[in-house]
Structure 1
Amino acid sequence: MERISAFFIAIWDTISTKHQEGLFNTICLGVLLGLPLLVIVTLVFICCHCCWSRRGKSGQQPERNKRKKKKKGEEDLWISAQPKLLQLEKRPSLPV
């Protein structure tokens, strides 16, 4: 327990010394001490966002699948590259 308190006392002494040396050192210390906190907050935000997004999508998938089923006689409206290639082959070439 004494080692832990000695560690924090040493850190506090360093911060106090740098603060007394000037404003630039205080700003640098604030940035250096704030970066790990910013990284932790960002990681927590990203993890929570991913978890909430995954839950929402899994609950909505069955509804989407029901809507995507085709009815009889309904055409598929997707355009693929394959018909374009076939049309290019059928065109006559231009005389040079």
Structure 2
Amino acid sequence: MTTAQLLAADGILLPESTLQTGWFSVLAAFVAINTVMYVALAIAKVLPKVYPRDWLPRRYTRSETRSIYPETPEGEQAKAAAATDTRLAR
């Protein structure tokens, strides 16, 4: 067997001088960052969607009424509407 066959059998495909060059270090860093990004995206895809608005306090009441009868209290709006409808029906 030749030296190239022995090195390929051990999993070493490139000579050590190539592995210690600057461009190979940049390539290795790029591959590492890319791998971490894809792992993070895959994990984010598996997890349920997060809605930050659910964590913030909510106000369920309006600061002013938006009714068509703004002068009447909340409970009396239906009564006023019913009285108006009965007068129109006569």
- TM class, shorter-length: 0.3 to 0.5
Structure with larger RCO (C-alpha < 8 A, sep 6+): 1
The structure with the largest alpha-carbon Rg is 2
TM-score calculated relative to the size of structure 2: 0.37
TM-score calculated relative to the size of structure 1: 0.36
